[in-house]
Chain A
């Protein structure tokens, strides 16, 4: 029963509430579309990959997720671009390396770096479009309503849901250990020494939680039947089903062509 615009769901999610065309698409169609785009980026020249990047970015903006897109892309691609440039443009010596004063630079290396960067940017933007327009609850319902075993859906849901309580517990352990005199502000050596005092209770409590959670799931008859009954499953229009089938056929064909050439 996820309503668009619900603001009280977990803060760890990148989902941006909205009612755009992409928001309304069935999550499985978007997931298959993402897989198809990922396969396609390996076939296209840099210009094609850049087109995918720009197109997905624009779709993201139209879906109302422009801010989230820009923030994540800068945070991820910025350091990655610098790293790639240093490795391929400067450090790796190529036949066209130009030595200028104290720095060497390879135009071919920079071109290669751009190729990788554009591909990663296209993949990242496509993934961002998926996560910002798909609430995980809807993805779970779509998986459940298509007969995907509940265990697989649980593997997707539980990390997203448990991330926040897990972080809160980590903070509580840190505060409790500091109150008992654990020094977390000293040298890096002191911090490394203090690390087990934070990690061990966190892992122990997480394992204890697992035991309880397993009991709860048993009590609620989880996996007692091969499939679950799902309420408010996302709409799956006939054209989306056909589109998914077409894309699922295209993906192995594209990979085959890529390997053949």
Chain B
């Protein structure tokens, strides 16, 4: 059974044009999936549906359904839902509970609500502190942290719930390049059975984490494929551009010098080998 099943979902705020316009999508357990799209493409709204923050009174689907492990979110109780999926939004300061005076208390807040054993809560908190590189901030007031630190804290607070799925909405927006690399590495080291759904309007984090890519455009899924196909999609180039090495390969391909069937490079490592091959092929 799929973790998330969305069938022809149409949703809009009030009477405005739909933000999600006939979205159908199935997400399996353990998938690493990126939902890409430009501003206003419906990424955050789709993420909220997936995470169960929607529907709400006055904000219901015009048509279509969403099922999590076979039943709509409305049939789930609050405990099971929190243990199943966690959502981390874009604005770090809005992801803090407002209940904890220290980073450590913020981390143990959720597991405390789950009613777990004290030893289990401490074990989870220790793991999350190391995973998200927060140990040196353990005594700090969450509201005094920088944006990047707050974002790491909100991801850690989601991870301590040990959900089956983690939905990240532009998680690296507040990070400098070095911190971004570190966080992406940390996400990649998360347990394999954890489903990670990343919504972003930057290719780099998506390419670093995901193995499946959705391209959302004006509320519709216009591509659902692997990295190679998504990079070759014309809307990808229009909305995001491409990584520099991929741009170079595309220019070579446009000039008719890229070997037929060769994948485009996504990283510098891949590019080095591929460019050497192309260079040898053309003398």
Q: Is the CB of A217 within 8 A of B97?
A: yes
| 9-residue interface stretch from A49-57, A103-111, A133-141, A196-204 | A133-141
| 9-residue interface stretch from B77-85, B178-186, B251-259, B267-275 | B77-85
Chain B residues near A8: list those with CB within 8 A: 139-141, 144
If the complex has contacts A221-B110, A224-B79, A229-B118, are A1 and B97 also in contact, measured as CB distance less than 8 A? no
Q: Is the CB of A6 within 8 A of B139?
A: yes
Distance from B8 Cβ to chain A, minimum over Cβ atoms (Å): 25
User: Looking at the complex, which one of B51, B89, B112, B158 makes contact with A212 (CB distance below 8 Å)?
Assistant: B89
Chain B residues near A150: list those with CB within 8 A: 113
User: Looking at the complex, which one of A10, A157, A215 makes contact with B53 (CB distance below 8 Å)?
Assistant: A215
B: contact size bracket: 35 or more
Chain A residues near B97: list those with CB within 8 A: 213, 216-217, 220, 222
Q: Is the CB of B53 within 8 A of A225?
A: no
Chain B residues near A10: list those with CB within 8 A: 101, 141, 143-144
Q: Is B237 an interface residue (CB 8 A)?
A: no
Work out how many contacts link A and B, with CB atoms closer than 8 A. Answer: 129
Q: Is the CB of A157 within 8 A of B108?
A: no
Chain B residues near A93: list those with CB within 8 A: none
Q: Is the CB of A9 within 8 A of B99?
A: no
Give residues of chain A (1-15) contacting chain B, Cβ–Cβ below 8 Å: 1-3, 6, 8-10
Q: Is the CB of B93 within 8 A of A137?
A: no
Q: Is the CB of B87 within 8 A of A154?
A: no
Chain B residues near A153: list those with CB within 8 A: 99
Complex CA–CA separation, A157 to B109 (angstroms): 13
Q: Is the CB of B118 within 8 A of A157?
A: no
Q: Is the CB of A137 within 8 A of B112?
A: no
Q: Is the CB of A219 within 8 A of B86?
A: yes
If the complex has contacts A220-B157, A229-B115, A230-B112, are A157 and B99 also in contact, measured as CB distance less than 8 A? yes
Q: Is A261 an interface residue (CB 8 A)?
A: no
Nearest chain B residue, comparing its CB with the CB of A215: B53
Complex CA–CA separation, A131 to B104 (angstroms): 22
Complex CA–CA separation, A103 to B87 (angstroms): 69
Distance from B45 Cβ to chain A, minimum over Cβ atoms (Å): 13
Chain B residues near A144: list those with CB within 8 A: 112
Q: How does the 8 Å CB contact mask read for A216-242 relative to B, with 1 for contact and 0 for none?
A: 111111111101111100000000000
Chain B residues near A3: list those with CB within 8 A: 139
Nearest chain A residue, comparing its CB with the CB of B115: A225
If the complex has contacts A228-B112, A231-B108, are A140 and B99 also in contact, measured as CB distance less than 8 A? yes
Complex CA–CA separation, A137 to B142 (angstroms): 13
Give residues of chain B (192-242) contacting chain A, Cβ–Cβ below 8 Å: none
Nearest chain A residue, comparing its CB with the CB of B53: A215
If the complex has contacts A3-B139, A215-B53, A231-B121, are A158 and B79 also in contact, measured as CB distance less than 8 A? no
Complex CA–CA separation, A230 to B105 (angstroms): 9
If the complex has contacts A8-B144, A225-B115, are A216 and B96 also in contact, measured as CB distance less than 8 A? yes
Chain A residues near B57: list those with CB within 8 A: none
Q: Is the CB of B94 within 8 A of A231?
A: no
Chain A residues near B134: list those with CB within 8 A: none
Chain B residues near A162: list those with CB within 8 A: 98, 143
Chain A residues near B122: list those with CB within 8 A: 231
Q: Is A116 an interface residue (CB 8 A)?
A: no
Chain B residues near A9: list those with CB within 8 A: 101-102, 141
Complex CA–CA separation, A222 to B93 (angstroms): 18
Q: Is A79 an interface residue (CB 8 A)?
A: no
Known: A135-B101, A216-B97. 13 other contacts (CB 8 A): A137-B100, A153-B99, A157-B100, A162-B143, A209-B94, A212-B91, A212-B95, A219-B86, A222-B99, A222-B109, A229-B114, A231-B108, A231-B122
Q: List 16 A-B contacts (CB under 8 A).
A: A1-B138, A10-B101, A135-B101, A137-B101, A150-B113, A158-B98, A161-B98, A209-B94, A217-B99, A221-B113, A221-B114, A224-B77, A224-B114, A225-B113, A229-B112, A231-B121
- The 8 closest A-B CB pairs, nearest first, are A220-B110, A221-B82, A224-B78, A212-B94, A137-B101, A221-B113, A1-B104, A158-B98
